[in-house]
Amino acid sequence: MAKTQTVSFNLNGKAVKADVEPRELLIHTLREKLAHTGPHIGCETSHCGACTVDVDGRSLKSCTVLSVQCDGSDLLTVEGLEQGGELHAVQQAFHEAHGLQCGFCTPGMLIRAYRLLKENPNPSEEEIRYGIAGNLCRCTGYQNIVKAVKLAAERLAATA
């Protein structure tokens, strides 16, 4: 058995700790040790983006980052978007614009859309497509995902 070390970080606004092996991937710590199963294990090679989480204000694919690299970080998963029983504008827009079908890519897509709109509050269709290019969807054809991100951008601008 490999030696473990304790990592601590803020996960969706709450301080957490976990004992991890130095080679343990963040996706496994989140799902298996911290019971945050929103981020999905897809390709495990960083191609699909189903495991995308927000770490210190950056979208990262948690299948390619070690848990020890996140020690002291602020992490946001899809479970942290909803606040006080209210869906985040991105979640609500995906629901209303039918930006999902099977739902497998959705957690990573939502987190990437969230960060994209933080980086660029009023993206064009081209900027949205470029911004989500690292997240694959095999069901939707992306058109409704783009519409959902645009709708979320409009709603976030209206509340700003």
Distance of CA 2 to the CA centre of its chain: 29
Return the pLDDT at 141.
Answer: 85
Q: At 11, is the secondary structure helix, strand, or coil?
A: strand
Per-residue pLDDT tens listing for the chain (160 residues): 679 999 999 999 999 999 999 999 999 999 999 999 999 999 888 899 999 999 999 999 999 999 999 999 999 999 999 999 999 999 999 999 999 999 999 999 999 999 999 999 999 999 999 999 999 998 888 999 999 999 999 999 999 8
**pTM as predicted:** 0.95
Return the pLDDT at 1.
Answer: 61
H-assigned helices in 16-67: 26-28
Return the pLDDT at 46.
Answer: 86
Domains parsed from the chain with CATH numbers: 5-80 (3.10.20.30), 89-159 (1.10.150.120)
Contact 75, 115 (CB under 8 A): no
Angstrom distances, CA of residue 85 to CA of 71, 79, 80, 81, 149 = 29, 11, 11, 10, 21
